[in-house]
Amino acid sequence: MTHRTRRRLGIAGILIGLVIAGIWVPSSAAAAGDQRAIEAVIRSRMDLMQGFGATSDGAISPQALPEALTKANGRLRSVYSGELLTQRSDQLDASLRAQAGGALRFFGGGVSKLTFSKIGISGSIARLTVTATTWSDVGQVVERKVVRSRPANIVEFTFELTRLPEGWRITQESFVFAPGSEP
């Protein structure tokens, strides 16, 4: 191999390396940005039941119900899409109406630990598994007294998200309780 051939191969190698780096680095940066956006959606999903206008006794007044429903559906649209959005909207609507009816009381809840694992992104679809330690502070009216309960569970969620023009949205979700953490 002549010096000239080696030089041409060296230059070609450098150019190919630059092209690969130019393609790979932005893709890696984009994937990291997608991962951060996906994690933000999941964190928002975990906080959905917070702050819908409940009073100190966990009820939602009939006057506050329309605003609570509007706020809830806005939050749902920022997290879910498609058929799952409709299902979750119906479920949250029923829950808020039950609080307004006085039978169910929701004082609070959340996630004390959240661990992301098995994150895979392929084009506009992402799949991931999340383990969460969830807790809630709920009450039920029994003989005109509110009886409170504070269950905590370890739950493994599996999510599928789709990238839409407005951002990543959950389109499928399932969960199982960790052994020994069932309600």
Q: Whole-number mean pLDDT of the chain?
A: 79
Domain assignment of residue 119, yes or no: yes
Give the chain's domain count: 1
CB 168 within 8 Å of CB 41:
yes
Of 7-11, 55-59, 76-80, 146-150, the range with the highest mean pLDDT is: 76-80
Going by pLDDT thresholds of 50, 70 and 90, the confidence category of residue 11 is very low
Contacts by 51-54, CB closer than 8 A, 24 or more apart? 52/96, 54/99, 54/105, 54/106, 54/107
CB atoms within 10 A of CB 60: 25
CATH assignment of the domain containing 105: 3.10.450.50
User: Residue 147 sits in which domain range?
Assistant: 3-177
| 133, burial (CB in 10 Å: exposed 0-12, middle 13-18, buried 19+) | middle
Closest of 61, 152, 57 to residue 107, by C-alpha = 57
The whole-angstrom separation of Cα 169 and Cα 152 is 26
CB 140 within 8 A of CB 103: yes
Q: Residue 182: inside a domain, yes or no?
A: no
Residue 129's CB is within 10 A of a number of other CB atoms, namely 14
Whether residue 183 is contained in a domain is answered as no
Give the count of beta carbons closer than 10 Å to the beta carbon of residue 99.
25
Within a domain: 150 = yes
Q: What is the pLDDT of residue 163?
A: 96
Confidence class for position 130, pLDDT limits 50, 70, 90:
very high
Q: What is the mean pLDDT of residues 46-58?
A: 67
**pLDDT the model gives residue 40:** 94
Instruction: Say if residues 53 and 68 touch (Cβ distance below 8 Å).
Output: yes
Q: Does a structural domain hold residue 29?
A: yes
Distance from C-alpha of 49 to C-alpha of 44, rounded to nearest angstrom? 10
Pairwise pLDDT comparison (139 vs 156), residue with the higher score: 156
> Tens of pLDDT along 151-181?
889 999 999 999 999 999 999 999 999 998 8
pLDDT at 13: 43
Write the pLDDT tens digit of every residue in 55-80.
Answer: 666 777 788 888 888 888 888 999 99
